[in-house]
Structure 1
């Protein structure tokens, strides 16, 4: 292998990575370091269909990066790394596209940390660690928010004093943009339509979930807002909620703002509704076994998603297709069916057999031939990051 891109997705206690061959655009080596900062930190690798894991003696991001470099050297892949691409959740309004990392870019990412306090500091840690470990290589930041910078003001402004927007950046930013870019391009290809002539609603459904209206390959509206808390019901996040609940819960429970925010981010969503689990697979098993709490949680999840999909079509003016992606979107035929059956008035008719087949990595159309298309598409954010990185590093792909 002559040339590859190392893709880094750094979380506060994790580091996910992939080595992408620029010729084949395939992942050669992937892995995940978990429980960083804890005694039981470990890193797992997957190469040539084989998986293995090892404990990290010092469970921190630097140790994880050292382990990655050691594995690259062991597999004779280290010299193939020509650039490093980093996922960065929040780029604010400053970044409308991916950027080569320098001191100015780092400073701007730091400024956005107040908008994503759980994410951006971790990304910066990963960036600085990678710059130490790969001195001289081009490093690129790929922002989740950049894709949504095409939204019009009527979509991204909140109805609050404009001073809050001008001085504090209070607006809707949106997330999952890298996934949306990949998925809409794939959908246009599968439907044999020029991307610039398409109008899709795409739902990226995982523990974090959002939906977006994408017209001509550009975001025109989305469900997440200033933070990833707004919008759909998620694994542990509430999604849309009456802002008045902050004052009410502060009074009733004796919580401060941070306490209420923690409750809405970590103890709500599917977990809070079901009081069983935040894992969609576990809830589906419980629902199929007749547990009413699980049924209710999934009913609320699917209803809210269907309602948002319908609302997002207003931004499009028409609907060329509904796209499902992310861990839940790609694998939960149960939830997809419940959502599509609520969208019959938009011209969607479920093909039940096709829907049941689209799990465990199989993508395709899940509506009937005479229906508005609904597609399951396996997202590949790592590839999008690698392609952006290669382009900005001047590498051919």
Structure 2
């Protein structure tokens, strides 16, 4: 098996890639967005996938790999999809209501269009499945938590797997001996403490809401705030869900939704934008310090994803004041832009600071091929 059709399905978009797992060469890539909206080229996910297939008719496709955000406690590795697996993914929708239902739409559309091909679900949570109990349990009633599957699951696992492997290769050191913190910073953002290639702590929790400040998500918040807003502001659970997931984070603090808009606003003198960045960076430093302690030391700090790979201001601000941890940045190297892995730490710094591009689609393709080969 060589050629895998990778699908990353959102509520109104389908991102796709056809990739050779042996050479990493991309035969086709693109996105169909605004699905179902007026003027869109696709009325639903099934027609979107039909149009995608028409775009690369004649290309070899050996299997289909799907990105699924939440695997719960059931799906801890990449899994060949059948009707039972479909039902299992659907049952997990309450844990990731913004992500699993669209992923399921993609699965059903692809299985209908390509019934002769094996299809595999690759779960964001799988990389964190073996978190130590002290990291994965919340301090609430154990029986209640176990009955309802309440625990830390973690996300962005597909990215963490490929980025940690690439970081070890760049450093020319065995992954098994490295202690690293990886910061996956995009519109959704999380941190992971990785020791010997295994996740031992991560900032996102039962859902992708916990942890760092994100584009529209609050990250960490005192849970009593929600009770207070219910009792005193009259917000119901649906309104709180919208507040925390769609109207918080950088957007809630500044009115800007992405880091580029935020830094432009800072340059224009907007005080709310400066305050939002300060809060964003404070949370990053909080997690870097905490995870350095969890790891018992640090060999590398790695930035990845859209903000992590492209914002020199965020990288510089994230390590400001952390020289005592061995984190010293080379601002000249930090200002350079490159699409390949690179070191941005000072030459005499004891801890490597790296920028490593992620490639979740390639990792999904590789895991798809591996699970089918094992079968």
TM-score, normalising length from structure 2? 0.97
Q: How far apart are residue 345 of structure 1 and its match?
A: 1.6
Where does 1:61-72 land on structure 2 (aligned, <5 Å)? 61-72=45-56
Alpha-carbon contact 2:21-2:362 (below 8 Å) kept: no
Structure 2 distance, partners of 1:147, 1:22, is: 20
Q: How many Å separate the matches in 1 of 2:340 and 2:279?
A: 26
Q: Does 200-209 or 93-102 show the bigger shift?
A: 93-102
Q: CA contact under 8 A between 2:309 and 2:355: conserved in structure 1? A: yes
Q: Is it true that 1:9 corresponds to 2:8 in the alignment?
A: yes
Quick one: distance in 1 between partners of 2:4 and 2:27? 10
CA distance in 1, matches of 2:205, 2:325: 25
CA shift digits 1:38-60 (9 cap, x unpaired): 1132xxxxxxxxxxxxxx1x421
CA distance in 2, matches of 1:95, 1:212: 20
Paired with 1:344 and 1:289, the residues of 2 have a C-alpha distance of: 30
Structure 2 residue matching 1:342: 3-state secondary structure: coil
Runs of 4+ in 1 over 3 A off after TM superposition: none
Match of 1:27 in 2: 26
The reply to whether residue 378 of structure 1 matches residue 362 of structure 2 is no
Q: Distance in 1 between matches of 2:262 and 2:155?
A: 25
SS of the residue aligned with 1:30?
strand
Mapping for residues 315-394 of structure 1, pairs under 5 Å: 315-357=294-336, 359=337, 361-371=339-349, 372-394=351-373
Select 1:236's aligned residue among 203, 211, 216: 216
CA drift of 1:362 comes to: 4.4
Q: Is the CA contact 1:5–1:386 (under 8 Å) kept in the aligned structure 2?
A: yes
Offset at residue 108 of structure 1 (A): 1.7
Q: Say if 1:92 and 1:145, in contact at 8 Å, map to a contact too.
A: yes
1:108 aligned partner: 88
Q: State how far apart, in whole Å, the 1-side matches of 2:86 and 2:241 are.
A: 27
Cα RMSD (Å): 1.3
Bigger shift: residues 178-187 or 364-373: 364-373
SS at match of 2:92: helix
Deviation at 1:3, TM superposition (A): 4.0
Aligned length: 373
Q: Deviations over 1:293-334 (max 9, x none)?
A: 111111110111111111012221110110000100000001
Residues of 2 paired with 1:221 and 1:23: CA distance? Answer: 31
Task: Give the corresponding residue for 1:144.
Answer: 124
Structure 2: distance between partners of 1:342 and 1:174: 28
Contact 2:2/2:369 (8 A) holds in 1: no
CA shift digits 1:269-305 (9 cap, x unpaired): 001111x311110111111232211111111101111
CA–CA distance in 2 between the matches of 1:389 and 1:375? 28
The match for 2:207 is: 227
Q: Distance in 2 between matches of 1:232 and 1:22?
A: 33
Change (3 A) 1:40 1:360: farther
The structural deviation recorded for 1:239 is: 0.4
Alignment gaps of 5+ in structure 1: 42-55
Q: In 1, distance between residues paired with 2:330 and 2:229?
A: 44
Farther-moved stretch of structure 1 (10-19 vs 83-92): 10-19
**Is 1:208 matched with 2:220?**
no
Other structure's SS at 1:81 match: coil
Distance of 2:139 and 2:31 partners within structure 1? 41
CA contact (8 A) 1:40 1:59 kept: no
Gaps of 5+ in 2: none
Aligned to 2:144, the other structure's residue is in SS state helix
Deviation at 1:360, TM superposition (A): 5.4
Matched, 1:308 2:287: yes
Where in structure 2 are the equivalents of 1:257-296 lying within 5 Å? 257-274=237-254, 276-296=255-275
CA distance in 1, matches of 2:21, 2:231: 56
